[in-house]
Structure 1
Amino acid sequence: MEKLSDPYTIRYPQIVAVADESGGLVELVEFFDCTGGAMWVKRHYAQSPLVRSVRTVGSTNRYLLSTGSADLALEGSVFPAGIAAVAVEEGEIAVTYRGLGGGGVGASVCRAGARGVVRCVSDPAGGGRLAGSTVWLPRLERVIVGIDDTDTPEEGATWTLAHNIARAVEDDRSRYLSHTIVQLYPVPYRTKNCVAIACEFATSDPEGLIRNYRDLLEEYTLSDETGMAVWRGFDPSPLEEFGCRVKRGEVSADDLAALDSEHLSVVMDGRGVIGAVAAIPFYTRYEEALALWNGSG
């Protein structure tokens, strides 16, 4: 049996942050290893004035944060830990955590050693003390890659190829955050299940990420009708109306051409590009994404 090298610390595997163009909103993505600790944090951090919302996606908690600072009226058991400050500083995002007792351990040393942290200032923690830390993270950009039509009736599966390429292109500049299968309206020319895929990244190298993803997709797709589309930006909700239409019924290439957004680009323009674009606004919205809307809403 191995001895415990650090029995009172559980380090977060990774922390990532993306900001909107104005620098007023930040999504903080914390990868966790201890589910119980993550659920405790989710419950209590939600009380912080700067936290607009929090949700769990896979093995991550995602906090939508306003920038600024706030006094936390911390109280044991009631409000024992939270986020006290968020700042967007040129190419970095600074997040300040505070907590009491075990919440102070989580707010300090547990986050200070996470992958993705550029630097930090951390208090001694443990026992019943108030403790915390400020961590600085790279300011990253959200990129969502939509994919459709990579297989044939004989072989292949778009959802597996999209995920495997996303893993392959991940590096220190581009972190793979999520994979969402989006059920589309079952058009007659589908392979079988008629789904498209949205792969989400946080990156400091969007051009390189997109180029690498496209190169692998072109190499491994089995279809001549593959579509790949990319959204670069904090919030893809401008595509939601189009995505809903593609889930409800057949949509034409002219409908796609009518979309006008500087954040959206078509990278591979096969017939599958309609589904690729439609998948993007449903990223991490799994219940809606997987629902079959058979034309009646």
Structure 2
Amino acid sequence: MTGVLEKRNKILSMMRRITLDEGSFTVAEIARRIGIPRSTAQDWTNRLVLEECILLDAPGRGREPARYIARTALPRTLCKRIFTTCDEDLVEIYHECMSSGCAAFCRHHHGRAGGALSTVRRDGTLLRERGHLGNVSADVGLSPLPAVSVVAIRKDGDQIIQTIRSFGGPSYSLTEMMSRARGVQAVHTRRSGNIVEGYVYTKALRLVAIGIDDTDTEGNGATFALAYALLQHIGRMDGVMPIAHHVAMLSPAIAEKTAGNSCSLIEFAAEEHQIPGIIDQAASFIAGESSSPHWGIAVKIGLSRPERLLAYGAKARSDRIDIDEAKSLAEASGIRIAGGRGVIGALAAVSLHGCGDEVLLNPKIPI
């Protein structure tokens, strides 16, 4: 096995070298340069095509042999999605990475740099960064400097443009990977010495937070599962970016609870014109799938959260709230609600939007 791997690496290395030097190669060239029979070179070529290590560049015609090109061993991108939501001058940037290690690296360096960002946190492999429109000065480079920084955020029409200054590995991500992420419309870069500065263009979307509660009974259903199903359902709509699903614990002293008294919160990024359809879809989906007639949803649009909403969420973690209070606050806060008594917990879910998981899951932690 070791001999086979060594031969494979030798042949693939030669294919990559010729691709870099000449743009493409033929089977005969590989056979001649490595000193193996042409039939052996053809067998290896066929095998590496199947493994997607090399690609057919031009099929053979007449006396012209087929030409191939070698692919790099590096992944095309680790940046799965990059998108943004905007609420007046407040912007939230979402960067979903395929690597938890890279997500941790970016959180660490973006957080150290500060720059145009006021908060940087990880939500699984999703990096969530908030900042205001504007620009700052920030240096990047070798430690103790951060390796990357968002130095400016601006809005131009329906686009958000991030200016990212980078050094080392982040420069490769900026020049080679970010443009391939879903949600990115364009990336323009320029290099000055060993520093790369790039402009990342994304749509200025709106944040949609949906709270859900009271969809189960003692014998059927689970609100967290139905909420996640709704996240997937709406997330399949064109142009909608699913963001996250969170569970929050409310007061355990409520007699009507089916178990521990939890509610769910799901988040999306969407264009303004899509929001009415999302709300209708959410209400219809929950009404049709809920095991309980008491289901309720609450929909909050935007990044901001008034203090009265947070106070309501805090109260729901320790006290009983009647439905009239919930309806009154929802109307005053511009939050759409639908359903029965479940709107009490659903409104609490969107009121707690932005709290960390430890806070959401432990009502004893003050907010």
TM-score, normalised by the number of residues in structure 2: 0.74
Q: CA deviation at 1:112?
A: 1.5
Aligned to 1:286: 357
> Does 1:225 find its partner at 2:294?
yes
C-alpha distance in 2 between matches for 1:118 and 1:103: 19
Q: CA deviation at 1:219?
A: 1.1
**Number of matched residues?**
291
> Does 1:272 find its partner at 2:342?
yes
Provide the secondary structure at the position in 1 that maps to 2:182.
coil
Question: Which letter maps to 2:160?
Answer: I
Q: CA deviation at 1:217?
A: 0.9
> Does 1:76 find its partner at 2:145?
no
Decide which of 245, 252, 259 is 2:315's aligned counterpart.
245
Provide the secondary structure at the position in 2 that maps to 1:14.
strand
Instruction: Name the structure, 1 or 2, with higher relative contact order (CA <8 Å, separation 6+).
Output: 1
C-alpha distance in 1 between matches for 2:250 and 2:146: 43
Provide the secondary structure at the position in 2 that maps to 1:219.
helix
C-alpha distance in 1 between matches for 2:341 and 2:302: 24
> Does 1:94 find its partner at 2:161?
yes
Aligned to 1:263: 334
Change over 3 Å in CA distance of 1:167–1:182 after alignment to 2: same
Decide which of 250, 274, 283 is 1:214's aligned counterpart.
283
Aligned to 1:49: 115
Q: CA deviation at 1:278?
A: 0.6
C-alpha distance in 2 between matches for 1:176 and 1:278: 21
Provide the secondary structure at the position in 2 that maps to 1:208.
helix
> Does 1:181 find its partner at 2:242?
no
Question: Which letter maps to 1:233?
Answer: G
Aligned to 2:231: 166
C-alpha distance in 2 between matches for 1:221 and 1:102: 48
Output the aligned Cα RMSD. Answer: 2.3
Question: Which letter maps to 2:208?
Answer: V
Aligned to 1:199: 266
C-alpha distance in 2 between matches for 1:266 and 1:8: 44
Q: CA deviation at 1:293?
A: 4.3
Decide which of 130, 152, 172 is 1:85's aligned counterpart.
152
Q: Which moved more, 1:3-12 or 1:86-95?
A: 3-12
Q: CA deviation at 1:133?
A: 2.0
> Does 1:17 find its partner at 2:84?
yes
The superposition leaves residues 72-122 of structure 1 with CA deviations (integer Å, 9 ceiling, x where unpaired) of 322223222211221112211111212122221123322121100122213
> Does 1:60 find its partner at 2:126?
yes
C-alpha distance in 2 between matches for 1:262 and 1:273: 14
Contact 1:94/1:137 (8 A) holds in 2: yes
Contact 1:31/1:59 (8 A) holds in 2: yes
What is the identity percentage for the equivalent residue pairs of Structure 1 and Structure 2?
24
Q: CA deviation at 1:147?
A: 0.6
| Greater fraction helix | 2
Question: Which letter maps to 1:265?
Answer: R
Q: CA deviation at 1:145?
A: 0.6
Change over 3 Å in CA distance of 1:83–1:293 after alignment to 2: closer
Q: CA deviation at 1:230?
A: 0.7
Q: CA deviation at 1:201?
A: 1.0
TM-score, normalised by the number of residues in structure 1: 0.90
> Does 1:154 find its partner at 2:219?
yes
Contact 2:298/2:346 (8 A) holds in 1: yes
Provide the secondary structure at the position in 1 that maps to 2:102.
helix
**Structure 1 segments (4+ residues) deviating >6 Å:** none
Change over 3 Å in CA distance of 1:41–1:222 after alignment to 2: same
Aligned to 1:135: 200
C-alpha distance in 2 between matches for 1:18 and 1:67: 12
Provide the secondary structure at the position in 2 that maps to 1:13.
strand
Provide the secondary structure at the position in 1 that maps to 2:107.
helix
Question: Which letter maps to 1:90?
Answer: G
Contact 1:180/1:282 (8 A) holds in 2: no
Provide the secondary structure at the position in 2 that maps to 1:151.
coil
C-alpha distance in 2 between matches for 1:8 and 1:141: 31
C-alpha distance in 1 between matches for 2:332 and 2:270: 20
> Does 1:116 find its partner at 2:167?
no
Change over 3 Å in CA distance of 1:282–1:262 after alignment to 2: closer
C-alpha distance in 2 between matches for 1:138 and 1:6: 31
